[in-house]
Each structure stands twice: as structure tokens, then as C-alpha cells.
A and B are shown apart, each in its own frame.
Chain A
Amino acid sequence: MTKPLLDVQDLHIHYDTDNGVMKAVEGVSFTVGAGHHLGLIGESGCGKTTAGRALMRVMPRNASIPHGKALFKGRDLVQLSEDQMRELRWRELSMVPQASMDSLNPVHRVGRQLVEVLTVRGEFSKRDALERASELFDLVGLSRDRLSHFPHEFSGGMRQRAVIALALALNPDMVIADEPVTALDVIVQRQVLQTFRQLQDRLSLSVIMITHDISVVAETCDEVAVMYAGKIVEWATVQTFFNEPVHPYTLGLQNAYPNLAKPDMELISIEGYPPNLLNPPAGCRFAPRCPFSQERCFAEEPPLVNVGPDHKAACHRADEVDMLREQAKFPATWQQSIENG
């Protein structure tokens, strides 16, 4: 791969809380190439949204980045001043935040909100801005006459596409989309996901798709990074992620995920819950829930290392992967861990 558009190195993000320091993201590294779509997946509290917001530098007051780099087109997003960040947001890097379809201003027409971004942030003249707004609506599959409508006249899917149009307004190189289809009905969800794919083809846009839904990743992403308790545990191309997963957490996630195309599949849950990040356990953070954990897993943290071409995983037992995959298919394997833990 040529030089990546975004190169995140050993990123740490802490929240200062009344109960101590919560280490929401600890030592996360990944890259996103130009025109690539990376799926950042994991369950609530794994740090995926925190990481996305840190890259945009829109974090709550009590959050800090004590360590790490995020090189975006060669510049470190962590070190840029707030003024420099303001120059960069929207123009080079933009975001579709979680539940943002409800963040349009209800008293202004949608077109006006787009024009405002274009004229204030993008130095468009009023007339050019209107033309650009129409183009953007074409791009996301909304009809141009909708520009004069108010948000309440839009359906949920249309509002979501309007927010995507806003994020694309100034032609950024990368968009961070946080659960962009979670609240949508499936038919509209499909349309929004198709919009993202077409944007990749037409604009060679890079996307970080933050989601809990592995089927959304299957449909839209080139690569996947799996987060668990503040760390990346596996990073692979989408094909490898589904066909040759290595980390036991990834194996467990895939077991738990219903598939409409496999009516006879028996779902298996992962017993237990993720650790408290105020006081994370030593060693591998998945070890307490992992059916394959050994003494070493509780003592020594496994590094994220290459396990194949374009494929990394953080597991001490990665060299026994064939056996792990075989064993992981049986419900009994996963029940074991409750009795032990």
C-alpha cells in the first residue's frame, strides 16, 4: 500500500471521571488508505465512538489524549491547534455523528443549512452554493426540490442522507460515519449504504464506518478493525475477517450474529460482560470471557501482530487457530467459560 491517508499510532484516550481515570482507548493503531472503507466494529463501550470523535477532536471536556499520533495527510490531528482543526474539519475530514439525523435545525429549510456550511466554511458565493447544494442532493439520491423543505417534511432516511450531504459538502477526503444506518428501516438502510458505496466509486472518498453491525461491514467496507474494551483485537480485510477470523472474540461475535441466509444456524452467545475500564484486568482483556484462555492470557497482554497477509490479531493462541475455529463452532465450548468464571 502507498502512504495511507490516515495513520493512527498507539492512540490513548482517557476520561477523567469521579471514580478515577477511565481508559476508553488504549494503544489503538490502524491505517486507512485513500478511497478505502474501514469498518470499526465492536460493542457498546468498546471505544469505537470515542476513537472516531477524537480524530475529529470533538471530545467531551473530561476526555484527553495522553499519548499517540493520528497522522492525517502527514499532519498529526492530536497536535494541531484548535484553529488548525477548524480549518481542516468539513474541508478535509468530516463526520456523520451518531443519531445525527435528528441534529438538523428544525426551523431552517434543509437547503439553507447546506448553503450556510458552503458559504461560511467553504467560501462559496451564494449562487455557487445553491448549485453545489443541488449537486450534493443528486449525489445522495435526494430530489432537488427537497432543498426547500424543512427537516420535519423528510423521513428518517431522507434526513440521514441530508446529513451525509452536509458531511460531503466541502469535498472532504475522509468521512467518519458513526452508526449511520442504525435507526433506519431496512429498505432505506440499504439505500443509504448504497449511497456510501457509490461515493467511494465516484469520489474515491475514504470512510471510517463505526458500527456494531457486522452485516453492515460486510456490505460496505474493505477492511475491518474489531475493538474490544479499548483495544483493537483483530484487523483484516473484510473477506479474511469473515472467512478466516483468528481472535476468539471475533469467532464469538460471528457465532452470535443471526444470518437470514442461514435459517438453521444455531446462535451462541458470549457469556459474561466486557471489563470495567476504570480498572481493566491485566493480560488479555477478553480472557475472562474467552473459552480458550490459559494462565498466560491473564498475565501477559498479547500484542497485535501479523497472522497473515493484511491480517493482524492480538491473541496468544493465534498459532493454534485451526483448532480454535473448530472448537468455537460448538455451543458447549462457550458454556465452559461460565462455569470456570
Chain B
Amino acid sequence: MANPQTHAPKDTPVPDEVLIEITDLVKHFPIGGGLSGALAGKNGAVRAVNGVSITIRRGEVIGIAGESGCGKSTTAKLLMKLFEPTSGTIRVDREDLGSLKRKALKRYRRRAQLMFQNPYESLNPRFTIRRALLEPLIIHGIGTPEERMERVMQAMHDVHLRPQESYLDKLPHQLSGGQLQRVVLARALMLEPDILVADEPVSMLDVSVRAGIMNTMRDLAAKRNLTVIYISHDLSLLQYLCNTTAVMYLGRVVEIGPTRKVIQQPKHPYTQALIAAVPVPEPERSQKEVPIQGGVPSAIHIPSGCPFHPRCPHAMDICSKEMPKPVKVNGVQVSCFLYTDDGNPADSQRADLDR
């Protein structure tokens, strides 16, 4: 365990160069015509992302956590420019994604790669593994046929698909889920990206296989100095892989900071509830009280003020009226009125929050 090569990224210092700057990002999906539009009223919209600002440094491994419907996957897709934001900007190397056209956009698509949850649906079922891996190189016109093949072999080596020859001519249905997810990872790396967005990359896989993929992804990110954005509902996965963790609720970041602090000493009442609810494989450990019940409300009718206030055990008058501004508390940024501008818990709540 003292082996430096299996050193967790959460312990490595984060360099200071800003790579991705997300500012006041908003994405609303209007509920258009048809029956659903009529029922929701003409001006309805699913307000998936409501003012997200995150700064990501080069080489940082960041996790975005939250329950279904919190806007984490929409944020990832905006980052990949699969949607246009309703407002707000995403800058990568100071360049606004919104302004990218044609060639510049193609260049961006080359440097930023996306990995989805379901490996069975991520690959063309009629393409052999060889073709699936060569395809991105051909599309981007990279290298001679020999050089391309060399890259394929190297990528397969890196994701532990060895010996490569035994996989090259197989079709996706001939491989297991874990092997396929390794192919998907290799394909994402073919164009030597510096940004990788992975949306629930292991949640379809069996436990014994999952750990292997997580270790491979962690080692590759470190080796290639990749900036990785993991989207997951699974906090134990993010704790294992990420330097930084952001927790989202109804389209907003409620807490963001070093993973260890966010998970081991959560500040926001929502983060506290979320972490208390995670089951732990230790039967003797007494279960923590989870102070909130039920699911996330609809993103069509978002509560006023702090969107969490109707479920929050600490809600105060102000919470339904105003949106809390982010404050720094012990190195973690929290958006909650329980914490004052100087970063201390408001006095009346102090006893409740100390853990």
C-alpha cells in the first residue's frame, strides 16, 4: 500500500494553471408544444442547471456528485458542447466554447473526450475492436496506417487489454462488460485528449471488475496528466478517484472542495444527509441518522431561495427568501446561510453541525 505507483490522486497536489472555467452556467429545457407543454403551462421549462460556476485546473480530477435530476449529467454534456447553454460561459484555455466553430470545434472535440455509463451501447456492434479504435484516428486524419496501428496497440496496452491480438478481431458482443469498458476507455484515449469526461463509468460493472477499471483510469489520468471530470451518484467512487468533489442539488453546486474534506467533514446539510445515507460494508457500524426524506423535487418548479430549504432540517426564515452566496469554510466552498461570510457556522446551529 506504500507503493508510490498506486498513489491516490487525491493526495497529489493540484497544479495552479486554470484549464476550464465554468461561469454562471444555466441550461433550461423548455417544455415545448404537445400534451406535456399544455399541462405544464406555456412557459414551463425543466431547469436542469441554474448557475453553476466551477474552476478546474490542469491535471485536476474532479467529481460531480448528486442524486438523479440534480443536473450533473447536463453539466457534463454542456462541457462536451453537446448542448448549447441557455446562458453563462465555459472557457477552456481562456477560449469560450460558445464561440468555437468548425475547425476550432473539431480541435476541441479531439482534445475533450467523453465516456458513457453503458459500454454495451457505446460501441458499434458491427465494428471489430480494431475498427472501433482506428475510427477516431481516421476521422481526424492522424498518422499513416502503420502509425495508427501502433497507437491502437499502445492504447490497448495501457488499458490492460493484453495480449492485444486476442481482442483486435472480436466484436463487442464477444467481450464482457469489463473488457468493453476498457475498449471504450482506449477509444477515448486514441486522440490523446487532455480532458476526459466520464459519466458513471463503472456503475454497470460487477464489483470485482469495477475496482480494476477504477485503478486503470486513475493510473492513466496520472500518467498522461489528464484533467478528468467524473459524474457519479456514487460518493465512494469519487472519494477513491478525485482530488476535488462538487455536490449538486437542483442545478446548483451546494458544496465544492477537496474530496477528503467534503466527504469526511461535510458542511452543507444536503451533503451531510447524502453522506449519512451511503451504506457502508460494516455491520457493526451504527447507521447514521438521515435527517431528510424522499426524493429531489421536480426541476420544473424549483423552490424559492435556497432550493434545498423545504427539506432542510436547519431551514431558517431567510432560506426561503434569498439564495445563499458561496462562502469558504475551512477550505471548502459552501452555499448555505448556516455559514457566515467569515467562514464560521452561524452560532445557533453550531452544535448541530459539529461532527
Task: Decide if A294 is an interface residue (CB 8 Å cutoff).
Answer: no
Residue-wise interface mask of A (280-292) relative to B, using a CB-CB cutoff of 8 A (1 in contact, 0 not) = 0000000000000
Q: A315 vs B65: C-alpha distance in the bound complex, in angstroms? A: 40
Establish whether residues B237 and A258, one from each chain, have CB atoms under 8 Å apart when the complex forms: yes
Task: Decide if B222 is an interface residue (CB 8 Å cutoff).
Answer: no
Establish whether residues B211 and A267, one from each chain, have CB atoms under 8 Å apart when the complex forms: yes
B68 CB → nearest A CB, Å:
6
Establish whether residues A268 and B295, one from each chain, have CB atoms under 8 Å apart when the complex forms: no
A202 CB → nearest B CB, Å:
18
- CB-nearest residue of chain A relative to B288? A190
A237 CB → nearest B CB, Å:
9
Task: Decide if B240 is an interface residue (CB 8 Å cutoff).
Answer: yes
Q: A257 vs B235: C-alpha distance in the bound complex, in angstroms? A: 13
B158 CB → nearest A CB, Å:
16
Establish whether residues A239 and B211, one from each chain, have CB atoms under 8 Å apart when the complex forms: no
Chain A residue contacts of B1, Cβ below 8 A: 266, 331
Task: Decide if B12 is an interface residue (CB 8 Å cutoff).
Answer: no
Establish whether residues A218 and B280, one from each chain, have CB atoms under 8 Å apart when the complex forms: yes
Residue-wise interface mask of A (250-288) relative to B, using a CB-CB cutoff of 8 A (1 in contact, 0 not) = 001111111111011011111101000000000000000
A326 CB → nearest B CB, Å:
14
Task: Decide if B212 is an interface residue (CB 8 Å cutoff).
Answer: yes
Q: A213 vs B260: C-alpha distance in the bound complex, in angstroms? A: 24
Chain A residue contacts of B342, Cβ below 8 A: none
Establish whether residues B207 and A253, one from each chain, have CB atoms under 8 Å apart when the complex forms: yes
Chain A residue contacts of B88, Cβ below 8 A: none
Establish whether residues A216 and B279, one from each chain, have CB atoms under 8 Å apart when the complex forms: yes
Interface of A is mostly: helix
Given A185-B67, A258-B236, A273-B178, A263-B279 contact (CB < 8 Å)? no
List residues of B whose CB falls within 8 A of some A CB: 1, 3, 6, 8, 10, 67-68, 176-178, 206-215, 233-237, 239-240, 260, 263-264, 273-275, 277-285, 287, 290, 292-296
Residue-wise interface mask of A (130-163) relative to B, using a CB-CB cutoff of 8 A (1 in contact, 0 not) = 0000000000000000000000000111100000
Chain B residue contacts of A88, Cβ below 8 A: none
Establish whether residues A188 and B280, one from each chain, have CB atoms under 8 Å apart when the complex forms: no
Q: A212 vs B177: C-alpha distance in the bound complex, in angstroms? A: 15
Task: Decide if A193 is an interface residue (CB 8 Å cutoff).
Answer: yes
Task: Decide if A43 is an interface residue (CB 8 Å cutoff).
Answer: yes
Task: Decide if A219 is an interface residue (CB 8 Å cutoff).
Answer: yes
Q: A137 vs B277: C-alpha distance in the bound complex, in angstroms? A: 23
Chain B residue contacts of A217, Cβ below 8 A: 281
Establish whether residues A213 and B279, one from each chain, have CB atoms under 8 Å apart when the complex forms: yes
Number of residues on chain A facing chain B (CB within 8 A): 45
Chain A residue contacts of B177, Cβ below 8 A: 44
Identify which of residues 200-249 in chain A touch chain B, using a CB-to-CB cut-off of 8 Å.
Answer: 212-219, 238-239, 242
Chain A residue contacts of B283, Cβ below 8 A: 218-219, 238-239, 242
Chain A residue contacts of B178, Cβ below 8 A: 273
Establish whether residues B208 and A270, one from each chain, have CB atoms under 8 Å apart when the complex forms: yes
Given A186-B67, A252-B208, A259-B292 contact (CB < 8 Å)? no
Establish whether residues B67 and A187, one from each chain, have CB atoms under 8 Å apart when the complex forms: yes
A36 CB → nearest B CB, Å:
15
Q: A185 vs B236: C-alpha distance in the bound complex, in angstroms? A: 14
Establish whether residues A191 and B208, one from each chain, have CB atoms under 8 Å apart when the complex forms: no
Q: A28 vs B264: C-alpha distance in the bound complex, in angstroms? A: 41
A211 CB → nearest B CB, Å:
11
A223 CB → nearest B CB, Å:
11
Task: Decide if A189 is an interface residue (CB 8 Å cutoff).
Answer: yes
Given A186-B277, A187-B67, A261-B282, A43-B236 contact (CB < 8 Å)? no
Establish whether residues A260 and B233, one from each chain, have CB atoms under 8 Å apart when the complex forms: no
A253 CB → nearest B CB, Å:
6
Establish whether residues B240 and A267, one from each chain, have CB atoms under 8 Å apart when the complex forms: yes
Chain B residue contacts of A218, Cβ below 8 A: 279-283, 285
Q: With contacts A191-B294, A242-B283, A270-B209 known, what are 20 further pairs, Cβ within 8 A?
A: A158-B295, A185-B67, A186-B274, A186-B277, A187-B290, A213-B279, A218-B283, A239-B283, A239-B284, A254-B281, A259-B280, A260-B235, A260-B236, A260-B239, A261-B282, A263-B263, A269-B208, A269-B215, A270-B208, A331-B6
Chain B residue contacts of A158, Cβ below 8 A: 295
B266 CB → nearest A CB, Å:
11
Chain A residue contacts of B264, Cβ below 8 A: 263
Q: What 7 A-B pairs have minimum CB-CB distances, sorted nearest first?
A: A269-B212, A258-B236, A215-B279, A269-B211, A270-B208, A267-B211, A256-B211
Q: A158 vs B293: C-alpha distance in the bound complex, in angstroms? A: 11
Establish whether residues B294 and A260, one from each chain, have CB atoms under 8 Å apart when the complex forms: no
Establish whether residues A188 and B295, one from each chain, have CB atoms under 8 Å apart when the complex forms: yes
